[in-house]
Amino acid sequence: MSNRLKILIIAPTPFFADRGTHIRILEEALALERRGHFVSIATYHIGKNISKKIKTNIKIYRIPKLLFWCKKMEVGADWRKVILNILLIFKTLRLVLIKKPDIIHAHLHEGALIGLIVQKILFWKKIKLVADFHGTLTKEMVSHNYLKNKFLRGFFIRLEKFINNLGDFAIASSGELADELRKTRKDGKIETILDGVNLENYDSLASKKELRKEMELPADKIIVVYTGSFIANKGIGYLLEAVPEIAKKNKNIYFVLAGFPAGEVKEYTRKNNLENRVKLISPLSYFDLPKILKAGDIGVDPKDSSVRQASGKILQYMGAGLPVVCFNRANNRKYLKKGAYYANNISARGIADGILYFSRNSEEIIIKGKIAKERSVKFSWDKSAEKIEEIYRKI
């Protein structure tokens, strides 16, 4: 096998969208490209054109627009994804025949299943498959209020166990997810590849004072930042419930909530008379994320461990030099060490206590922020790509 590999990435999602799953797919691909490999991505018919924002030779191949009315960019289950994934199977088959990749790198459970089907149909090519899992399948669907029917839920539990065993090697986005996969994966070929951060995005920015002025943020407040999806399994409910309590106890704290979908969050802030304490930025562009974070003082990640997802947003907070308020999860501690306030109580009160702790101990914002920034150097996407490359070599 030559040093420069041809890698075909399967992304069963409307790539690119400004959220964690897509950021992981994009940054892994860019880091592999920087290591000299030829990268292509097979994905849905919709999604942002990354070449307008960054310089790259990565080729994006999209399925036909047969479901032209399907323009949903949000996360969640949808019956139309069955049709989209069937189309993606055909697109992947065609790309394998034309581009002759050395490796198929399949993201998410759907991608792993598509990869298996392509492997079986083109069996004589003996293409190797890496399954890159970002979270659990069934628990994520339940967190989105799907699978209320016991029979249907049982079916997906069995399907997930089957998919967990696919691929010549499996990648998990967090240690917690890797432990979950080991319960059902028989060959034990699992490695944790954590998310990374691109520090160059932060080091070239203007000062905090200038960024606040540009974004019309209060210069004299403690600014708490949350970035990411406003959906239940990201823990947004804990944070929103905490905001009114914090607002009553400390008038010097201001919140920036950046993400999507914004409807429920906007209504919540209106009902609780929080418009003058919260700035809502929606939609959030991944490419605008660094300046939003650098304008803040504290990052908050209220995600619990129910769906075994990693937290890429924490690494972005670290890159911006923000101390973090989060729950006491093994994955969070692996990232942050002493650069965070860890809430042992998984609740809105736990999040509120952490934010109020920093407001009362302003020197801790500086100390823990510096620790977080220094630790961010250990988690570059290039180091992740190096580990992925080693997996490619093994198989």
| pLDDT value of residue 72 | 76
CB-CB contact of 358 with 342 (8 Å):
no
Residue 57 CB partners (closer than 8 Å, separation 6+): 33
Q: What are the tokens at 288?
A: 């605008």
The pair phi, psi for residue 339, each rounded to 5°, is -95, 20
Tokens of 130: 């890496």
pLDDT digits (tens, 9 = 90+) for 142-172: 766 677 778 888 888 999 999 999 999 999 9
Query: What CATH number belongs to 6-196+380-394?
Result: 3.40.50.2000
What's residue 73's pLDDT?
72
Q: Which fold has domain 200-376?
A: Rossmann fold (3.40.50)
The domain segmentation of the chain, as residue ranges, is 6-196+380-394, 200-376
| 172 vs 309, residue with greater confidence | 172
Q: For residues 215 and 205, is the Cβ–Cβ distance under 8 A?
A: no
- pLDDT given at position 306: 65
Separation CA 155–CA 172 (nearest Å): 23
Domains 6-196+380-394 and 200-376 share a fold: yes
The residue written with tokens 């964690």 in the block is 20
Total-model pTM? 0.86
Per-residue pLDDT tens digits for 77-100: 777 899 999 999 999 999 999 999
Strand ordering across the sheet containing 169-172: 59-62, 38-43, 6-10, 103-107, 128-133, 169-172, 190-192
pLDDT of residue 48 exceeding 90: yes
